[in-house]
Structure 1
Amino acid sequence: MNNLNDNDGCCGIRNVAIVGPYASGKTTLLESLLFVTGAISRKGRVQDNNTVGDHSQEARDRQMSVEVSVASTEYGGLRFNFLDCPGSIELVQETWNALVGVDAAVIVCEPDLDRVLTLAPLFKGLDDWKIPHVVLINKVDRVNQTQLLDVLRAMQKVSSRPLVPQQFPVRRGDEVVGYIDLVTEQAYHYHGGAPADPVSLPEELRDAEQAARAELLEALADFDDRLLEELLEDVEPSQDEIWTDLKWELKADLIVPVVLGLVDQDYGVRPLLDVLVREAPSPQATADRRGVGETAPGETAPPSPEQQVVAQVLKTYGLPQVGKVSLVRLWQGELGEGVLLNGLRPGGIYHLMGSHMEPVQRAVAGDIVALSRLDGVKTGETLAVAWGCVDPLPQMETLPPVYGLAIAPENRKDEVKLSAALNKVLAEDPALGWEQQGDTHEVILWGQGEIHLQINLDRLRRKYNLSLTTHTPHIAYKETIRKAQTKVHGRYKHQTGGHGQFGDVYLDLEPLPRGTGFSFGEKIVGGSVPRQYIPGVETGVRESLHRGPLGFPVVDLAVTLTDGSYHGVDSSEQAFKQAARLAMQEGMQGANPVLLEPVLAVTVAVPNDFTAKVLRLLTGRRGQILGYDVRADWQGWDQVSAYVPQAEMQDLIVELRSLTLGVGSFAWKLDHLQEVPEKLADRVLAMEVEV
């Protein structure tokens, strides 16, 4: 085994994220962790809306985590900062952003074969970032031993790291009454409200326990030549040696320990804490792995004390009466009152306990704290005293939007504060986005799904007194012509009693290849239209493109001014602009106008078990399949490429997730315009007339 320099003794802090699928028991686990360690005297329940986590009104209305909740406790001589992360696939950006700053993660899952696949993106993300993680199989009483083994085998298929169970369940009939520690081979019986009692190992389980322990040792021996030699020579390794291997291999993200529990009854929670105390890497080990604090190339000395503070924003909150609060991981140095970060002085330093903020005078390297009033600082941003002298730390990529709603204030007087309020909720939730759509003039709120958007609409209403109406965004249809028109005539003549208005033009109209846009030219000979009036002709032509005969902007068209006439007194640029508009109106009507729709290039990522279903889904939405291939670096996943009309995209993510147990995803970009099928075009135009 490699001899790593372990600095675990230098810092008594462990930062642990609690992650897992929706409804797996994450918030209940946090409540149990706080209760059994004495951080809270009474254990709350999600259904009673009295837990430390899920304290926001948006979370309690839905009885689900909607943002990262932070709470701290002490156990085994260590201070634990637990970050309870949302499980909904629509809120996964919150989880990814928080994971950047932790030392380890606990994946909470149920022993349900049908839901194992939902763990795949989580395993992949943790593995890619080399974040050590432990699996807690919750609600273990729902399956027997055979079913539990089936679940473990299925989980192994979605994890690139070997899963290493450290416990074996003890049952009495269908009831789970305890466990066997596979390292010490000590059996325990659970007791409500107290640590499990050591008991004799049941004889009827000895063979099964021995087989499970042998698998544990073999998994560890894959990374430890000395242990492998001992096993080959039938030498029984010591408990200290096994624990050392578990600690080193978890720290190096080589294995994934697995423990069991019933967290609603606090069963398995203390053993989980024991695993984290013994095996979770320290903040310094995490900082070393990330390269924080290393001397830059070419430098021979470490940074000066005033340059040593380095932190990173994991989450931004907008709290009533407090304002903006930034949750940060302090990677290096000590943070005290009066210290400037990126040129800003925090209003205060706090430890969070759910919604409660406890002021502290200083924070040390490795801690996770909240800083108030860091205006302008974004989630993921690197903070330092020597601003500009520190390389930005890596941060999670922002997920592309997959679902949008058009929004408008219920009260028109609130339009002036819409953009400011939207930018504030975007600061809290980077997975959110908004835009002013140029063609439809709608404000589109973008996110990861309908629930994601509804949560933020609730925030806008509660925090900023901004109630919004929503509807499905309109499609930015365009139109063009199929047939060329020559010598289209437009004459504008208006007499007012003084100087009149006169302009006379002849235009040629020609369709252009798709995606070309618009071009204007002139072929005037002999001064039939004076040069000073030609800009007015072009202006009139361009203005007429804003709304064609079908009611939509006109594209892919070439217009050429070929002839005309003028009056020496009554002609003007304005008159020629009006003449051009009249000519365009006549010419477009006779040029066989056709409706165009935007088509997106869509890339769908799914487990290959669902590829056939996704192909049918896309073709059923008028999609053109371009091909599919293996998804790079994702074992057992495919990537499907297709062109899909934007009109078919609104609820694609809903159906895709329904088909793929919630793990399917896609990215898109606008690619081209294409003609709308005739029957569909008739329906679109009929709706336009009604509007």
Structure 2
Amino acid sequence: MKKDIKISNFRNIGISAHIDAGKTTTTERILFYTGVNHKIGEVHEGRATMDWMDQEQERGITITSAATTVFWSGSKKNKNFHKINIIDTPGHVDFTLEVERSMRVIDGVCMLYCSVGGVQPQSETVWKQSVKYQVSKIIFVNKMDRVGSDFYKIYNDLKKKLNATPVPVYIPYFLNNNFYGVIDLINFKLIVWKETNNGMFFDFFEIPEDHIDVSNKWKNNLIENAILDDDIFIEKYLNNVNILNDDIVMLLRKKTIQNKIQPMLCGTSLKNKGVQCLLDSIVDFLPSPIDISGISGYDISGKNIVIKPLESEKFSALAFKVVNDPFIGQLIFFRVYSGKIFSGNFIFNSTKNKKERLGRILRIHANKKEDIKYVAAGDIAAAVGLKSFYTGDTLSDLDYFVVLEKIFFPDPVISQSLTIKNKSDEEKVFIVLEKLNHEDPSFKFKVDNDSNQIIISGMGELHLEVLIEKIRRENNLDLVVGKPKVSYRETIKKNINNIEGKYIRQSGGRGQYGHVVINLKAGLKGSGFNFINNIKSGVIPKEYIPCIKKSLEDVAKAGILWGYPVVDIIVDLVDGSYHDVDSSENAFKIASSLAFKEAFKHASPILLEPIMIVNIETPAENLGAVISNLSSKRGELLSIEDIVNNYKSIKSNIPLSEMFNYSTILRSLTKGRGIYNMSFNFYSELPQNILKNII
């Protein structure tokens, strides 16, 4: 029965939120209630199914996104079987790429919020990622059993901080100040879970008299949001015609898919209450692959096309994750957008123009794997035996050239040096680093030509710490790690025109001749490197233009004055000359490099430093000491807010160079009670006094 599920009953979803909101705990309950697991794995015991890496179990956090598949026919067993592919994503900002690439391939997401912590900074980051990829959302307010929980404060914060449109479909019910159950507003019943059997069973009751008024209030709010923009149902509502529950669900689902509302519910996954309601809401409100308007891509001519999520179409899929399994080898996780593919078929890597045979196809359940014969539109699986595919590549039929929209990879903001103790391990280290880069494109590495050290770069101290530990454990390598270094950027403040670069060499035979003239302009913040070709009348033959552009890009990446990438500039190629015999690509490369370097020196060059947005939670009594310390770190205070339990939330912009070892400092200032997280915000000009110290 489960094998014949229609694509309309597929749900590809993510579970995402701020760190410690209970994502993995909630997923463990989902696995239990859907029958995948017969025992609940607890995060605090290091036994969570989805946190299968050693470091995840030791640290009690999710580091890598894990995938699994469950089947659900409703808490009352009254629905068709639905296949739910779930991706449990990290909450820590250092692993934001895991969230980013997951958002790219899911259709809906369950956003978890701690009922006490509320809408925290990483919640905002994840929300923005879901908006960018137009992912439909439902909201689960977790940990309702905690002291200080406030469902309605979360409701207001969602509207205020995220510009969301939450619509409660379940509201909390308290008895003697203890979270006791939830009120189902659609069916207008109180649901209470039994304490035995890990909350597997529950009962329905009439809503108590003292909760009728508040339940009616939120039921009306639910209906009004559901019928909004629908004239037929608005007229029924105004004429007091009863609107059927199935119609309410249908209308809410439509609005959710259109991203006009976000159904909101609550529970406490640790105490096994509300998770079945969450599964029902995933099935009822989140979209199937055919509810999505289609994924965009382009064909061999570069023309934009929209992929229809139908099994009858040609096969196309997107590789969104690479994992190197010690027993199987390289696993490529992919989402199928159209068609069907069988194990053993040949497929085409449209991104790299390569043909490969698809070996085994696996259904993944955390670190367990199940062989399947084929995979079809709307599904998520993993492939074994593909050599050329990396994150963001398109898989397609051999006779179907299509390239799907890629995944955005954030640039690293922090670097560290690695020294190999045993020189005989050098080749092995580089192989491992290359594999890590394929797994995690936000991780980069290079060899510093001056120091001969390996420089690794990533999204934060924890990100690099986890990767270094992974290298040591899995490969038994002895490495010395240097202090973190900031990834600065070079740019200019002044425009400069008509700078020449000329390369002429004559050595008896054929000579070398290249001549370019460029204008160098300051670009907009965040615009990167831009090249404009303004050559007229063929003064430089068009076949040399690509090599000139490539040379300029390479010089910009390597840096000019301080060895950091050059950003936010416009190079305008305006003039030059060539020689019929002596001109060559190499000569024009050297000439353009000389022109760029000369222009950069005279365009008021400056160094940019990464500014992080830092969110700190501190006891109110330590507020003064924390703010004073931030001032000493060149911090810009943005806001201070009251949060629960006499704590304060501080938001500020602080240079990354000032944030190393901040966790130790904050613990000292707050007697171990303060916490913080940070993420990259923007690049800003480095003050001259700091620049002198760096140089």
TM normalised by structure 1 equals 0.70
CA distance in 2, matches of 1:186, 1:210: 12
Q: Does 1:238 align with 2:244?
A: yes
Q: After TM superposition, list the pairs within 5 Å mapping 1:520-539 onto structure 2.
A: none
Q: Counterpart in 2 of 1:501?
A: none
In structure 2, relative to structure 1, the CA distance for the partners of 1:616 and 1:245 (3 Å cut) is farther
Over residues 26-52 of structure 1, what are the superposed CA-to-partner deviations in whole Å (9 max), with x where a residue is unaligned? Answer: 111111111111111111112333222
How do 1:374-385 residues align onto structure 2 when only pairs under 5 Å count? 374-385=386-397
Q: In structure 2, what is the equivalent of residue 66 of structure 1? A: 63
The offset of 1:465, in angstroms, is: 2.8
Structural mapping, 1:102-181, within 5 Å: 102-113=106-117, 115-142=119-146, 147-181=150-184
Distance 1:294 1:620, change over 3 A: same
Cα deviation, residue 294, structure 1 = 11
Residue 279 of structure 1 corresponds to 285
**Distance of 1:303 and 1:178 partners within structure 2:** 39
Find the counterpart in structure 2 of residue 17 from structure 1. 14
Residue deviations 1:162-188 (CA, integer Å, cap 9, x gap)? 001111222211222211111111221
1:662 aligns with 2:670: no
1:123 and 1:158 in contact (8 A); partners too:
no
Instruction: Give yes or no for the alignment of 1:460 onto 2:457.
Output: no
Query: Structure 1 residues 639 and 213, CA, compared in 2 at 3 Å: closer, same or farther?
Result: same
Equivalence for 2:546: none
Give the C-alpha shift of residue 263 in structure 1.
1.0
Q: Which residue of 1 aligns with 2:220?
A: 214
Q: Measured at CA, do residues 609 and 673 of structure 1 come closer, stay the same or move farther in structure 2, by a change above 3 Å?
A: closer
Q: 1:87 aligns with which of 79, 88, 91?
A: 91
CA distance in 1 between counterparts of 2:312 and 2:206 reads 58
Matched, 1:600 2:605: no
Distance in 2 of aligned mates of 1:103 and 1:302: 14
Structure 2 residue 447 is matched with structure 1 residue 447: no
Letter matched to residue 166 of structure 1? V
| Residues 240 and 294 of structure 1, relative CA distance in 2, 3 Å threshold | farther
Specify the code of the residue in structure 2 equivalent to 1:139: K
- Say which of 35, 45, 48 aligns to 1:38: 35
Contact 2:298 2:402 (8 Å CA) reproduced? no
Shift in Å, 1:617: 8.0
Does structure 1 conserve the Cα–Cα contact (< 8 Å) formed by 2:226 and 2:251?
yes
Deviations 1:58-90 (A, max 9, x none): 212212111011111111111111111111111
**Structure 2 residue matching 1:244: 3-state secondary structure:** helix
- Partner of 1:354 in structure 2? 366
What does residue 503 of structure 1 align with? none
Q: Residues 327-406 of structure 1 correspond to what in structure 2 (within 5 A)?
A: 327-341=333-347, 342=349, 343-386=355-398, 389-395=401-407, 397-406=408-417
Change (3 A) 1:184 1:651: same
- Offset at 1:249? 0.9
- What's the CA shift for 1:225? 3.3
Equivalent AA in structure 2 for residue 133 of structure 1:
K
**1 CA distance for matches of 2:666 and 2:607?**
19
Question: Are 2:29 and 2:275, in contact at CA under 8 Å, matched by a contact in 1?
Answer: yes
CA deviation vs aligned residue, 1:99-137 (integer Å, no higher than 9, x gap)? 211121111221124653431111222122110111111
Cα deviation 1:327-364 (Å, max 9, x = unaligned): 11111111102222221223210001111110111111
**Aligned twin of 2:621:** none
Conservation of the 8 A alpha-carbon contact between 1:165 and 1:259: yes
In 2, Cα distance between the equivalents of 1:301 and 1:449? 36
Aligned to 1:326: 332
| Partner SS, residue 284 of structure 2 | helix
Q: Distance in 2 between matches of 1:399 and 1:57?
A: 26
Which has more radius of gyration? 1
| Aligned equivalents of 2:35, 2:15: Cα separation in 1 | 19
Runs of at least 5 residues in structure 2 that lack an aligned partner in the other structure: 74-80, 350-354, 489-493, 501-559, 564-604, 619-623, 639-649
Residue 453 of structure 1, CA deviation: 0.9
Alpha-carbon distance change, 366 to 293 in structure 1, aligned in 2, over 3 angstroms = farther
- The 3-state SS of whatever aligns with 1:662 is strand
Gaps of 5+ in 1: 1-7, 478-512, 520-552, 557-596, 629-636, 685-691
Q: Which amino acid aligns with 1:174?
A: N
Secondary structure at 1:41 match in 2: coil
Contact 1:134 1:256 in 2 (8 A): yes
Are the structure 2 counterparts of residues 299 and 320 from structure 1 closer, same or farther at C-alpha, using a change threshold of 3 Å? closer
Question: Are the aligned partners of 1:15 and 1:103 in contact in 2 as well (CA < 8 Å)?
Answer: yes
Q: Residues of 2 paired with 1:107 and 1:303: CA distance?
A: 25
Q: In structure 2, what is the Cα distance between the partners aligned to 1:237 and 1:304?
A: 33
C-alpha distance in structure 2 between counterparts of 1:410 and 1:598, whole Å: 37
Distance 2:315 2:421 in 1: 46
Counterpart residue type for residue 183 of structure 1: I
How far, CA to CA, are the matches of 1:175 and 1:673 in structure 2?
Answer: 54
Give the direction of change, closer, same or farther, for the CA distance of 1:26–1:198 in structure 2 (3 Å limit). Answer: same
2:49 is the alignment partner of 1:52: yes
Give the deviation of 1:403 after TM superposition. Answer: 2.1
Residue 436 (structure 2) pairs with residue 425 (structure 1) = yes
Q: Give the counterpart of 2:187 among 164, 184, 188.
A: 184
Partner amino acid for 1:312?
Answer: L
Q: How far has the Cα of 1:390 moved from its partner?
A: 0.3
Alpha-carbon displacement from aligned partner over 1:471-528 (angstroms, at most 9, x marks no partner): 1157999xxxxxxxxxxxxxxxxxxxxxxxxxxxxxxxxxxx9x9xxx9xxxxxxxxx
Greater shift in the superposed pair: 340-349 or 435-444? 435-444
How far 1:368 sits from its partner (Å)? 0.6
Match of residue 227 from structure 1: 233
User: Residue 95 of structure 2 aligns to a residue in which SS?
Assistant: helix
What is the CA-CA distance between 1:158 and the residue it aligns to?
2.5
Specify whether residues 306 and 130 from structure 1 end up closer, same or farther in structure 2 by C-alpha distance, changes over 3 A only.
closer
Distance in 2 of aligned mates of 1:432 and 1:99 = 19
**Aligned equivalents of 1:430 and 1:376: distance in 2?**
15
Deviation at 1:433, TM superposition (A): 1.3
How big is the shift at 1:470?
Answer: 0.6
Deviation at 1:639, TM superposition (A): 11
Cα deviation, residue 19, structure 1: 0.8
Write the mapping of 1:263-302 to structure 2, written as runs, cut at 5 A. Answer: 263-286=269-292, 288-291=293-296
1:203 to 209, 226, 235: 209
Label 1:656 to 1:441 Cα distance change in 2 as closer, same or farther (>3 A): farther
2:505 matched residue in structure 1: none
Q: Deviations over 1:551-576 (max 9, x none)?
A: xx9999xxxxxxxxxxxxxxxxxxxx
Contact 1:598 1:674 in 2 (8 A): no
**The residue matched to 1:141 in structure 2 has which SS?**
coil
Aligned residues: 547
Partner of 2:589: none
Does the 8 Å contact 1:653/1:665 carry over to 2?
no
1:258 offset after TM fit, Å? 0.9
